[in-house]
């Protein structure tokens, strides 16, 4: 079932209701954040990284801990190329259906996997890798309360082209370009669903956004913008 037309509406409704989440950056800044969920993937992540490097774009990757454990070298490449790492849970499980203990363990296990893959101290990763995007964008007020209590930062989205259904590069590109504006936070996927087209999509998307005078920033940059604005 395609919900692509509904995501802009959901963004406008949910953004003011849950201000503790990062939905987008400031509308006064001509920047966008490219973000990627569900990876790393051995077939889809490497060509995506090559495209980003060719255009000298820094992006944000919300990784699954299970995939990090399976492909530590790919995770290390993401980190070594300067991209921002966030947490998508250890497995692709809806947060509202996990107990608080299970959710916290899922995030801790993902941090542990990142620390091992990237050769970093676990305490450093626990302090620095704190951005969490719930799988499928599903959360409850309790989810947000728990994340805040554990000192994580909840991250959502403003542009969702539903690439995981693989509608084709042209469709994904058109959806993004119709919705993008200053501060947009764009969600794409480099995992099993949607990853097949992600490198080709980004290969065309970056020049199109540059032509509109956008600069590329990370999720951390968007948080910093919001902190300054407040």
* Residue with token string 């692509």: 4
Whether the per-residue pLDDT at 1 is higher than 60: the answer is no
Q: Give pTM, 2 decimals.
A: 0.96
DSSP label at residue 160 = -
Provide CB contacts within 8 A for 103, sequence distance 6+.
89, 95, 143, 146
29 is catalytic: no
| pLDDT computed for residue 230 by the predictor | 64
Q: What is the DSSP string of 23-62?
A: ----TTS-EEEEEEES---TTTHHHHHHHHHHTT---EEE
Question: 132, 87 in Cβ contact below 8 A?
Answer: yes
Query: What region does 60 belong to: left with phi over 0, alpha with psi -120 to 50, or beta?
Result: beta
Q: What's the average model confidence in pLDDT over 25-39?
A: 95
> Where does the pLDDT of residue 44 fall: very low under 50, low under 70, confident under 90, or very high at 90 and above?
very high
Is the confidence at residue 228, as pLDDT, over 80? Answer: no
Percent of the chain with pLDDT over 70: 98
From the candidates 163, 189, 220, 221, give the one annotated as an active-site residue.
189
Confidence of residue 226 (pLDDT cuts 50, 70, 90): confident
Instruction: Tell me how many degrees the CA angle 98-154-152 measures, rounded to the nearest 5.
Output: 80
* Cis bond upstream, residue 40 (ω within 30): yes
Kindly give, in sequence order, each residue whose CB lies less than 8 Å from that of residue 127, ignoring residues fewer than 6 positions away.
none
Token pair, residue 92, equals: 């692709």
φ, ψ for residue 56, nearest 5 deg: 55, 45
- Compute the average pLDDT of residues 151-175: 96
Q: In this predicted structure, what is the pLDDT of residue 2? A: 66
* For the ranges 2-6, 27-31, 111-115, the one whose mean pLDDT is highest: 111-115
Pick the range with the lowest mean pLDDT from 36-50, 61-75, 133-147.
133-147
Q: Is 38 a catalytic residue?
A: no
């Amino acid at each position: 079932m395609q919900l692509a037309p509904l995501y802009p509406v959901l963004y406008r409704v949910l953004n003011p209701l849950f201000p503790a989440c990062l939905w987008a950056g400031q509308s006064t800044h001509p920047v966008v954040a490219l973000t990627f969920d569900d990876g790393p993937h051995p077939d889809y992540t490497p060509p995506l990284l090559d495209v980003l490097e060719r255009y000298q774009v820094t992006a944000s990757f919300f990784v699954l801990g299970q995939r990090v454990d399976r492909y530590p070298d790919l995770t290390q490449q993401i980190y070594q190329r300067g991209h921002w790492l966030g947490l998508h849970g250890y497995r692709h499980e809806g947060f509202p259906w996990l107990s608080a203990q299970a959710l916290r363990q899922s995030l801790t296990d993902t941090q542990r996997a990142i620390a091992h893959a990237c050769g970093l101290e676990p305490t450093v990763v626990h302090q620095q890798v704190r951005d969490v995007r719930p799988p499928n964008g599903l959360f409850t007020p309790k989810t947000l309360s728990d994340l805040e209590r554990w000192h994580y930062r909840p991250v959502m989205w403003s542009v969702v082209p539903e690439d995981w259904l693989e509608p084709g590069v042209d469709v994904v590109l058109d959806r993004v370009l119709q919705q993008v504006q200053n501060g947009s936070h764009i969600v794409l996927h480099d995992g099993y669903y949607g990853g097949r087209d992600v490198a080709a999509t980004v290969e065309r998307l970056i020049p199109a956004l540059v032509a509109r005078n956008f600069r590329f920033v990370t999720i951390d940059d968007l948080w910093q913008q919001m902190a300054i604005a407040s």
